[in-house]
Chain A
Amino acid sequence: MFNHLLSLLIWLPVVGAIPVLFAGSARPNLARWLSMLVAVLTFVASLFLLVRYNADTGGMQLTESYLWIASWGVHYGLAVDGISVALIVMTTFVGILVIAGAWEVIQDRPHLYMAAMLILEGLLIGVFCATDALLFYALFEAILIPMFILIGMWGGPRRVYATLKFFIYTFFGSVFMLIALLYLYQKAGTFDLATLAALPLTFKEQAWIFFAFLIAFAIKVPMVPVHTWLPDAHVEAPTGGSVVLAAVMLKVGTYGMLRFILPIVPDAGAHFAWLIIVLSLIAIVYIGYVALVQEDMKKLVAYSSVAHMGFVTLGIFIAFALVREQGSTDMALLGMQGAMVQMISHGFVSGAMFTCIGVMYDRMHTRQIKDYGGVINAMPWFGFFYVLFAMANCGLPGTSGFVGEFMVILASFAASPWIALFAAFTLIIGAGYTLWLVKRVLWGEITNPHVAEMKEINGRETFVLVAFAAAVLALGIWPQPLIHLMDSSVSQLVQQLAIHKI
């Protein structure tokens, strides 16, 4: 079983979705319990990953490789390094929580909802461990199908617009990546990522391929100025859809940058690093201001996601600048590690924030900030969690939000104090929009009589919020295990940055 642990992780939820589907709408509870069983089993299997993966040696481990399409030499190739392991465990963890979170909230055809979630989970795990570019691409695109269904079927009033925009926007980005991959295949005769990483390319080729990759991943992250699909998708998606979207799917974009841009086109990456750094800073500062003026809670958190993901892209590309221009590997390592921690941390924090909004939405059926006020009086326990996640969202020390941002800011200071200055703006703006949100929603007098009728969170919701809180605090207080898990893989990536391929 351990030889095929990764396949198991991918296929367990995907195949597990079939009995859930057949459980049918006639027996919704059976479908719910079955999907929970599958999600828990997947999570347990992913824990074995932590045991089996040797973080000290690093490199790609638990390799599986089978010839898939002989005439093209395409392999069904899977392997993980520390970064993938962290992302996979986060995915399976969030997988349980979204299913628990949707339990009785989704009354319309719950079996379809649960099945779509499970398939989505399996595909995401596949993306995080594919070592063949064509396999990666297929999974990367296939994710769109369940997400399209999730937003379109269980979303809000403008769900059709949002889901079509989401699908076409992200599809638009990735097709250019396909052309780039086919071009690389012409040159290398294989889609194997390790071989492609060693393939020499002229600068002109690298530049074109860089932009083809960039447009695919930048849309997924999303980076300014191609982020406009995200607020729409988030606002209209059901709670679980938003959670998976923010917690896991956005990470696919940055993960793709690590796996494709860094190793395959390092020279173009270094040359255009300034562009990404500028765009990341715009995301951090400008989108922070945009978040400030939002009147819809989900939109606010969606914009704050864009700002936080800006830290991830900043951390990755600041490492380029540090290694190539200053030769300071240590600082580059710090920036890259910060980006990785931020990826995981943002997964938990944004997932938790969207869950909180979902909890309130289920009671009030509105996401407008002005409809709330004084929620803490009606739901003190809920208020406790909400404040905790809000603090994590603005990067309070002791929560996971702090660690990654701090590391990235430190690294960018080494590159240029100006970059650090703009990046550090987030501490003010982030606190601004998050605390103001808390103030308007939680504190104060109850002005809306419906708020007084809000019921305290039930056991299921408490479970979900406690799980998120535990993760957020654990990473904030003791991030060392996570950093250790990813350490050797991150240093390998940083070493790769220095290699010239021209």
Chain B
Amino acid sequence: MPTLNDILILLPEFYLVAAACLLLLLDAFMKPAQRPLLHWISIAVLLVAIYLVIAGQPDRAVTAFGGMFVRDDVAEIIKVFALGTTAMIFVYARPYLIDRKLLGGEFYTLMIFAVIGIMLLVSAGNLVTVYLGLELLSLSSYALVALNREAKLPSEAAIKYFVLGALASGMLLYGMSMVYGASGMGGTPTLELAQLSHVMGYTTAPTLLLFGLIFMIVGIGFKLGAAPFHMWIPDVYQGAPTPVTTFVAAGSKLAAFGMAYRVLADGMGDLAQHWQLILAVLAVLSLAIGNLVAIVQTNLKRMLAYSTISHMGYLLLGLSAAGPEGYAAALFYAICYALMGVAAFGVILAMSRAGFECEEIADFKGLARKAPWMAFLMLLAMFSLAGVPPLFGFWAKVLVLEAAIHADMLWLAIVGIVFAIVGLYYYLYVIKVMYFDAPEEGGALQVQQDKPLRLVLSLNALSLLALGLYWGPLLAWCRRAFGV
């Protein structure tokens, strides 16, 4: 029987569900003239949610609904950044969506439901909650990708995303059922993560458990977009409306990290020696495929898609270290990637307008002349993604590499750093196009005049520099969450 305490622990989530429903009603009943208000209300809703997450944070981890839901520092950090990046995406998305006549209540509502999915997923104390959060996030994302339902490319992307996503969910569920079965052989069957970690000790069917683990890793790998489960990433990134791509790149990667941490570290911690090497192989494949294929892309969104794959490789480097320091490094990396990704896509959004997506790399020719400030912000994002100091992305890479070396996987760190050199090329190429190429005659580049967009985007990109100069507190926060 849920108590008041349970509800208080889930207050941010309950609040967001209520707010999302309210937004739907508002959208339906507001006068058309007042509709623009919806945008600001949605941002306010997210900011209040951040406040609720931080203010209500208990001193130590608490569970609710009989262990279904965990509220600890890891969840807090991921929630804060997922909510924050989503609020940023709202700001960046407005001019883009207005230009394409896509701005409506459904965008905000679906996004907020997706965020609720993230919040449930990263707070999961039970495999059922994992699945619940994942599906809420995924279904909202499928619909968001198809937001522009009349265009062909987004619909195609959405179908691909949906079909492959459903397959991955199926794998995950199948794995969960095996784990459930294995836990029942020699003990009480359970889906609770905290108890699953002991299953290996007593089960009479360890092979079944390991098979379940592998199937669940497939599901996690799909959500992370790690090779070889990356096939959906390029098409979805390129096909989805850019604001949705940004969300898939930033928010859902944070969620994927949270999911991997909950399932593998919380639930399958005893099997670390088994999944460690699997993750290392996924990391190497992601680094190789992501970086090598990104080189030949001409579409910036698609290039960033492959770059995401490689970045998930780095994140997996930290995860595969299978220790609190490695998890802290991976969480740091996920946060860093979210901020970098939002900044890079933010510039694309700022440069696009009705009838011009500004998503080909060649579209950015001579940006440094036409819009020096935007070019500078993109430069920060690119150098950060490439991992050049003093930008934020460099330190995130250093942390995961250190975690890998710490876990006696020097070879993995060396593979990681070698692919950083490969990856350098395509980021530098974008800078080359912006700074060293002359703008095209009668070129179409012009910056969105939306003031909030420019302000928040500037702060976002400059934060990559600021956090690069002083990243200690953020690292300390991440490490504290894992008790290091």
By the criterion CB–CB under 8 Å, are A141 and B436 in contact? no
Q: A72-B475, A138-B394, A182-B398 are in contact. Are A171 and B432 (CB under 8 A)?
A: no
Complex interface: stretch among A50-58, A146-154, A379-387: A146-154
Q: A152-B432, A171-B424 are in contact. Are A178 and B417 (CB under 8 A)?
A: yes
Q: How far is the CA of A69 from the CA of B420 in the complex (A)?
A: 24
Q: A178-B401, A179-B405 are in contact. Are A164 and B475 (CB under 8 A)?
A: no
The verdict on A220 contacting chain B, using a C-beta distance below 8 Å, is: no
The verdict on A142 contacting chain B, using a C-beta distance below 8 Å, is: yes
Mark contacts of A161-192 with chain B using CB atoms, 8 A cut-off: 1 yes-contact digit, 0 otherwise.
00110011001100110110011011000000
Instruction: Kindly count the residue-residue contacts between A and B in the assembled complex, taking CB atoms under 8 Å apart.
Output: 84
Query: Which residues of B in the span 421-445 have a Cβ within 8 Å of any Cβ on A?
Result: 421, 424-425, 428-429, 431-432, 435-436
Mark contacts of B403-418 with chain A using CB atoms, 8 A cut-off: 1 yes-contact digit, 0 otherwise.
0011000100110011
By the criterion CB–CB under 8 Å, are B424 and A160 in contact? no
Chain A, residue nearest B397 (CB): A178
Top 9 closest pairs, chain A to chain B, by CB: A138-B389, A69-B472, A152-B436, A175-B417, A141-B389, A182-B402, A172-B421, A142-B389, A71-B476
Contacts of B428 in A (CB 8 A): 148, 164, 167-168
By the criterion CB–CB under 8 Å, are B432 and A179 in contact? no
By the criterion CB–CB under 8 Å, are B432 and A164 in contact? yes
Chain B, residue nearest A134 (CB): B398
**Most chain-A CB neighbours within 10 Å: which of B368, B398, B420, B429?**
B398
Q: List the interface of chain B (C-beta within 8 A of A).
A: 368, 383, 388-390, 394, 398, 401-402, 405-406, 410, 413-414, 417-418, 420-421, 424-425, 428-429, 431-432, 435-436, 470-472, 475-476, 479, 484
Q: How far is the CA of A70 from the CA of B471 in the complex (A)?
A: 10
The verdict on A203 contacting chain B, using a C-beta distance below 8 Å, is: no
Contacts of B432 in A (CB 8 A): 152, 160, 163-164
Q: How far is the CA of A214 from the CA of B421 in the complex (A)?
A: 18
By the criterion CB–CB under 8 Å, are A145 and B421 in contact? no
Main secondary structure of the interface of A (DSSP, over half): helix
By the criterion CB–CB under 8 Å, are B388 and A144 in contact? yes
Q: How far is the CA of A137 from the CA of B406 in the complex (A)?
A: 20
Q: A142-B389, A168-B425 are in contact. Are A160 and B479 (CB under 8 A)?
A: no
By the criterion CB–CB under 8 Å, are B389 and A186 in contact? no
Contacts of A168 in B (CB 8 A): 421, 424-425, 428
Chain A, residue nearest B414 (CB): A179
Main secondary structure of the interface of B (DSSP, over half): helix
Q: How far is the CA of A71 from the CA of B481 in the complex (A)?
A: 13
Q: A70-B476, A164-B432, A168-B425 are in contact. Are A145 and B402 (CB under 8 A)?
A: no
The verdict on A159 contacting chain B, using a C-beta distance below 8 Å, is: yes
The verdict on A463 contacting chain B, using a C-beta distance below 8 Å, is: no
Contacts of B424 in A (CB 8 A): 167-168, 171
By the criterion CB–CB under 8 Å, are A159 and B471 in contact? no
The verdict on A48 contacting chain B, using a C-beta distance below 8 Å, is: no
Contacts of A69 in B (CB 8 A): 471-472, 475
Contacts of B431 in A (CB 8 A): 148, 152
Q: How far is the CA of A70 from the CA of B383 in the complex (A)?
A: 25
Instruction: Show 20 residue pairs from A and B whose CB-CB distance is below 8 angstroms, ordered by the A residue.
Output: A70-B476, A134-B398, A138-B390, A139-B389, A139-B390, A142-B390, A145-B383, A153-B368, A160-B432, A167-B424, A168-B424, A171-B421, A175-B421, A178-B417, A179-B401, A179-B414, A179-B417, A182-B402, A186-B405, A186-B406
Q: How far is the CA of A304 from the CA of B317 in the complex (A)?
A: 44
Contacts of A2 in B (CB 8 A): none
Contacts of B398 in A (CB 8 A): 134, 178, 182
By the criterion CB–CB under 8 Å, are B413 and A141 in contact? no
Q: How far is the CA of A190 from the CA of B82 in the complex (A)?
A: 33
The verdict on A478 contacting chain B, using a C-beta distance below 8 Å, is: no
Q: How far is the CB of A146 from chain B (nearest CB, A)?
A: 11
Q: How far is the CA of A146 from the CA of B431 in the complex (A)?
A: 12
Chain B, residue nearest A108 (CB): B369
Q: How far is the CA of A171 from the CA of B420 in the complex (A)?
A: 9
By the criterion CB–CB under 8 Å, are A183 and B405 in contact? yes
By the criterion CB–CB under 8 Å, are A153 and B436 in contact? yes
Chain A, residue nearest B475 (CB): A71
Query: Which residues of A in the span 36-91 have a Cβ within 8 Å of any Cβ on B?
Result: 68-72
Interchain CB contact (< 8 A) of B394 among A72, A141, A148: A141
Q: A70-B472, A171-B424 are in contact. Are A153 and B435 (CB under 8 A)?
A: yes
Q: A148-B428, A160-B436 are in contact. Are A175 and B420 (CB under 8 A)?
A: yes
By the criterion CB–CB under 8 Å, are B472 and A71 in contact? yes
Query: Which residues of A in the span 111-156 have a Cβ within 8 Å of any Cβ on B?
Result: 134, 137-139, 141-142, 144-145, 148-149, 152-153
Chain B, residue nearest A154 (CB): B436
By the criterion CB–CB under 8 Å, are A182 and B471 in contact? no
Q: A141-B389, A172-B421 are in contact. Are A183 and B479 (CB under 8 A)?
A: no
Q: How far is the CA of A138 from the CA of B417 in the complex (A)?
A: 15
Chain A, residue nearest B417 (CB): A175
Known: A142-B388, A153-B436. 4 other contacts (CB 8 A): A139-B390, A144-B388, A175-B418, A175-B420
Chain B, residue nearest A183 (CB): B405
Q: How far is the CB of A262 from chain B (nearest CB, A)?
A: 24
Chain A, residue nearest B425 (CB): A168
Contacts of A142 in B (CB 8 A): 388-390
Q: How far is the CB of B381 from chain A (nearest CB, A)?
A: 13
Q: How far is the CA of A175 from the CA of B389 in the complex (A)?
A: 12
Contacts of B390 in A (CB 8 A): 138-139, 142
Chain A, residue nearest B389 (CB): A138
Q: How far is the CA of A138 from the CA of B391 in the complex (A)?
A: 9
Chain A, residue nearest B401 (CB): A182
